[in-house]
Amino acid sequence: MLRSPSSRKNPHSGLRKRGKTELRKKRGMAQQLLLLLPAPSGTFSKPLPSPAPSLPRRHVPSISITRRLVAGVAAARRDLLRCGMRRSDLVSELELAKDKKQQGGRANAIFWILLLNFGLYVADHLLQIRQIKSLYLYHAFPSWYQFVTSTFCHANWNHLSSNLFFVYIFGKLVEEEEGNFALWMSYILTGAGANLISWLVLPTSSVSLGASGAVFGLFTISVLVKDVLGLEKDS
């Protein structure tokens, strides 16, 4: 039986069909896998490195500032040299001012002594206060306090003025050298000592009053103080 050439089967055509079907299956599977994968989220970029911490820059002074500093230091040195040259003068002036201040601050006792003498004189002779008479030293029947209080009482104006004049001169010398307390003690002790001697020597009918004994005592103390200070300075 004869067959037509068209009706003959070509073995290679069957192989081609199989290859095409397998290729289609692979393409379909590839498409399904692509559908299952997540969609791309854009372009990927490498992370940039974090910048290193910048160190603080040191401030470099300009030339003008440096010159100003050098000029200031030089001026300060000149001032120090001037102060050093005048140091001895300043020290001496400060010591003199300190001594004057101390002397001025201590010159108070002489004022109160003079004021007390003058006040008792006014109360005794001008105001006629009888109680002032009890401050006199009566040799017949003396009281212990009268040896001190009688040195602040005076018989008349001439007696008062002459005594206060010398008390101020010699008392101020003692106060400037020894101070307030020394002046008070010198006035009271020398005045009371002079009254004690007069009470022992004079008759019992006598009455002692006045600062004459304190004047002689202050005169003696002022001379002794000046001599001692002179010897210390010479040595």
| Per-residue confidence (pLDDT) for residue 122, from 0 to 100 | 94
- Backbone angle region of 210, left / alpha / beta, with phi > 0 → left and psi within -120 to 50 → alpha: left
Q: Find all residues with CB under 8 Å of 225, minimum gap 6, and list them.
A: 173, 174, 177, 178
Q: Count Cβ atoms within 10 A of the Cβ of residue 52 and give its class: 0-12 exposed, 13-18 middle, 19 or more buried.
A: exposed
Residue 196 pLDDT greater than 70, yes or no:
yes
Radius of gyration of the chain (CA): 61
Print the SS3 string covering the chain. Answer: CCCCCCCCCCHHHHHHHHHHHHHHHHHHHHHHHHHHCCCCCCCCCCCCCCCCCCCCCCCCCCHHHHHHHHHHHHHHHHHHHHHHHCHHHHHHHHHHHHHHHHHHHHCCHHHHHHHHHHHHHHHHHHCCCHHHHHHCEECCCCCCCHHHHHHHCCCCHHHHHHHHHHHHHHHHHHHHHHCHHHHHHHHHHHHHHHHHHHHHHCCCCCEECCCHHHHHHHHHHHHHHHHHHHHHHHC
Assign 45 a pLDDT band (cuts: 50, 70, 90).
very low
Top-tier CATH class for 109-234:
mainly alpha
Instruction: Specify which residues 137 forms β-bridges with.
Output: 208
Q: Contact 137/196 with Cβ under 8 angstroms?
A: no
Tokens, residue 22: 């397998």
Least confident of 10-24, 81-95, 97-111, 177-191: 81-95
- Rounded (10°) angle between helices 180-201 and 212-234: 130
With b for 16 or more beta-carbon neighbours within 10 A and e for fewer, the 1-12 pattern comes to eeeeeeeeeeee
At 154-173, the pLDDT tens digits run: 999 999 999 999 999 999 99
Give me the half-sphere count of Cα atoms (radius 13 Å) on the Cβ side of residue 115.
5
| Per-residue confidence (pLDDT) for residue 228, from 0 to 100 | 72
| Per-residue confidence (pLDDT) for residue 146, from 0 to 100 | 93
Residue 182 pLDDT greater than 60, yes or no:
yes
CA 159/CA 73 separation, integer angstroms: 71
| Per-residue confidence (pLDDT) for residue 43, from 0 to 100 | 46
At 52-66, the pLDDT tens digits run: 555 555 555 556 666
Residue 8 phi, psi (nearest 5):
-75, 140
Q: What size, in residues, is the chain?
A: 235
Assign 234 a pLDDT band (cuts: 50, 70, 90).
low
Residue 181 pLDDT greater than 70, yes or no:
yes
| Per-residue confidence (pLDDT) for residue 95, from 0 to 100 | 58
At 82-139, the pLDDT tens digits run: 655 555 555 555 555 555 555 544 558 899 999 999 999 999 999 989 899 999 999 9
Task: Please state, rounded to an integer, the average pLDDT across all residues of the chain.
Answer: 76
At 210-225, the pLDDT tens digits run: 999 999 999 999 888 8
Higher-confidence residue of 226 and 173: namely 173
Residue 20 pLDDT greater than 70, yes or no:
yes
